[in-house]
Amino acid sequence: MKIQTFYKLFYRHRVIKATTILKIYLFLILPFRYLLNLVFVKKKINLDDYAKKNESLFDENLNNLFEYFNSDKGNKFYDQYVQPLKRREDIKIPGHAYASFYEKYFLEIKKRELNILELGTFYGNACAALYFYFKNSKIYSGDIFPDLFRYKSKRVHNFYIDSSSEQSIEKNLISYENLYDIIIEDASHMYKDQIISLFMLFPILKSHGIFIVEELDFPDTRKDMNINNDKPTLREILNNILIKKDFKNQLISEKQKKYFIDNYKSIEILKGTENEIAIIRKKWWII
């Protein structure tokens, strides 16, 4: 973990709100807190080597894998979003409980050779779970802080992407012309980011592919995810599409809108422990 990442994750929000004296204090202690936290940062795991000693993980269901690798997609996890030195692995808290939704779509394709993209990977715990669940697939992991990623493998590719930027999406994903069987959008959950990620990336989803938007309801229920209360949110857009009601959004071009409407097969919005997840299936034949 780079010191810039440490600052942005754990101190920037405090600095923004602090008085001048408090700002000086925070910047003075920052290097010491960073060095102290480095002691508690876990070493990177080579999944290819780890798999040789833990072959039974290839037979586990998805929730067990999410919980084993401490992904909040599972039923329970310990809080991974605090500073490493404050992490308590003896106390588990409720996760999103999305695993059963995932397996409904993933079980029949888990043995295939797929390209799977997850945006917003943080430490990469969900990617590690997917590595064992999809044992023949390649996993692509994108995050604004790629230095946090804790895993490596010949089947895992970790890279930088800022999902709030159309330019970053274009440069780091679309320009490479990779096509993905599964895309999981689990990045910032901000109003703009959710919308541009879906409508920009849907064309690089293969026919009959699966696009998943986690915490779909954040821009509708959390002020910090939609500061200006912009409308329509992605949740509202998807619901409008389901009832065949027209919509307009300045973030979506008419070309993107038409492509999505012409090529989606199904949209299912489900609720986990507290938050919603959208699972979108693409048609077999792309128009």
Going by pLDDT thresholds of 50, 70 and 90, the confidence category of residue 192 is: very high
Going by pLDDT thresholds of 50, 70 and 90, the confidence category of residue 287 is: low
On the question of pLDDT at 174 being above 80, the answer is yes
Question: What is the chain's mean pLDDT, rounded?
Answer: 96
Going by pLDDT thresholds of 50, 70 and 90, the confidence category of residue 35 is: very high
- Burial (CB < 10 A; 0-12, 13-18, 19+), residue 282, is buried
- pLDDT digit string (tens) for 53-64? 999 999 999 999
CB 272 within 8 A of CB 98: yes
- pLDDT digit string (tens) for 211-231? 999 999 999 999 999 999 999
pLDDT at residue 246, rounded to an integer: 95
**How far is residue 106's CA from residue 133's CA, in Å, rounded to a whole number?**
9
pLDDT at residue 176, rounded to an integer: 75
Parallel/antiparallel/unpaired status of strands 45-46 and 151-152: parallel
CA 205 to chain centre: 16
On the question of pLDDT at 269 being above 80, the answer is yes
R_g over Cα of the chain:
19
Structural fold of domain 45-282: Rossmann fold (3.40.50)
Domain boundaries, the chain: 3-38, 45-282
Q: Which two tokens stand for residue 175?
A: 């320009």
Percent of the chain with pLDDT over 90: 97
**How far is residue 63's CA from residue 132's CA, in Å, rounded to a whole number?**
12
Which residues lie closer than 8 Å to 195 by C-beta, 6 or more apart? Answer: 233, 234, 237, 249, 251, 252
Which residues lie closer than 8 Å to 234 by C-beta, 6 or more apart? Answer: 191, 194, 195, 198, 213, 216, 219, 278
3-state secondary structure of 271: strand
Residue 241's alpha-carbon distances to 34, 190, 251, 262, 268, in angstroms, are 47, 20, 16, 11, 11
Longest dimension (CA), the chain: 61
List the Cα angle 287/199/187 in 5-degree steps.
140
Parallel/antiparallel/unpaired status of strands 264-271 and 276-282: antiparallel
- pLDDT digit string (tens) for 56-114? 999 999 999 999 999 999 999 999 999 999 999 989 999 999 999 999 999 999 999 99
**How far is residue 286's CA from residue 283's CA, in Å, rounded to a whole number?**
6
Q: Indicate the DSSP class of residue 111.
A: T
Going by pLDDT thresholds of 50, 70 and 90, the confidence category of residue 178 is: confident
Q: Which of 227, 222, 202 is nearest to 287 (CA)?
A: 202
Name the pTM for this structure: 0.95
Q: Which two tokens stand for residue 10?
A: 């754990």
Long-range contacts of 230-235 (CB under 8 A, 24+ apart): 230/191, 230/192, 233/191, 233/194, 233/195, 234/191, 234/194, 234/195, 234/198, 234/278, 235/269, 235/276, 235/278
